[in-house]
Copies of this chain bind each other. A is one copy, B any other.
């Protein structure tokens, strides 16, 4: 993994990819699938995300205030969906789905080796947790895998329907 400038984090999340969220609590790592996230600020990167109170990850995130947002490419889509279809209450998902935890630099939850980017995050605002299950995160370190060239992210359209990133194009933009 290669360290990424924090100012580039929004370029990963703004397009709305399916992500994997790792947490760690009581010495045990877990991972869930997450599509409800958005950027709040460029740098330092602030990210809002929703983690349902029904998810096993919710209590871990609330209690520890740490997570990693990992970005899977298209080839990991089947695994990402399986991750989302079971609970860490019952399964060691890293072992079950062949995902490799890698030690992070500033938080306890692991990076995921197979993902093309990983964002180490800390919770910086909990005021919207009770009402909306919304956490405000700051990305404190970001990593990309230089071996994955032009990774295609993918996007959830509900009920198991997805689209992968398609043709790229550039238009002159005055803004970030």
Interface positions of A (Cβ within 8 A of B)? 8, 10-11, 14-17, 35-41, 46, 48-50, 77-78, 81, 84-85, 125, 127-128, 131-132, 134, 136, 152, 155-176
* Copies of this chain, count: 2
- Bound CA–CA A11/B162 (angstroms): 10
Q: Which residue among A38, A39, A165 has the maximum number of chain B CB atoms within 10 Å of its CB?
A: A38
Residues A172 and B160 in contact, CB atoms below 8 Å apart: yes
Taking the nearest CB of chain B, how far is it from the CB of A30, in angstroms?
17
Q: How far, in angstroms, from A160 to B175 measured CA to CA in the complex? A: 8
Q: How far is A48 from B39 in the complex, measured between Cα atoms in Å?
A: 11
Interface core residue of A11, A14, A164, A170 (most chain B CB under 10 Å): A14
* Chain B positions within 8 Å of A8 at CB level: 158
Q: A164, B161: Cβ atoms under 8 Å? A: no
The answer to whether B158 touches A165 (Cβ under 8 A) is no
The answer to whether A36 touches B14, judged by C-beta atoms less than 8 angstroms apart, is yes
Answer whether A158 and B10 are a contact pair too, CB < 8 Å, given A78-B171, A169-B77. yes
Q: Offer 26 A-B interface pairs, CB within 8 angstroms, sorted by A.
A: A8-B158, A10-B158, A11-B158, A11-B159, A11-B161, A15-B16, A15-B35, A15-B156, A16-B16, A37-B38, A38-B38, A38-B48, A38-B50, A48-B48, A48-B132, A77-B171, A78-B171, A128-B128, A152-B166, A155-B155, A155-B165, A160-B173, A161-B170, A163-B165, A163-B166, A164-B166
Determine if B163 and A167 form an interchain contact, defined as CB atoms under 8 angstroms apart: yes
Cα A15 to Cα B36 in complex, Å, equals 9
- CB-defined contacts of A49 to chain B, threshold 8 Å: 38
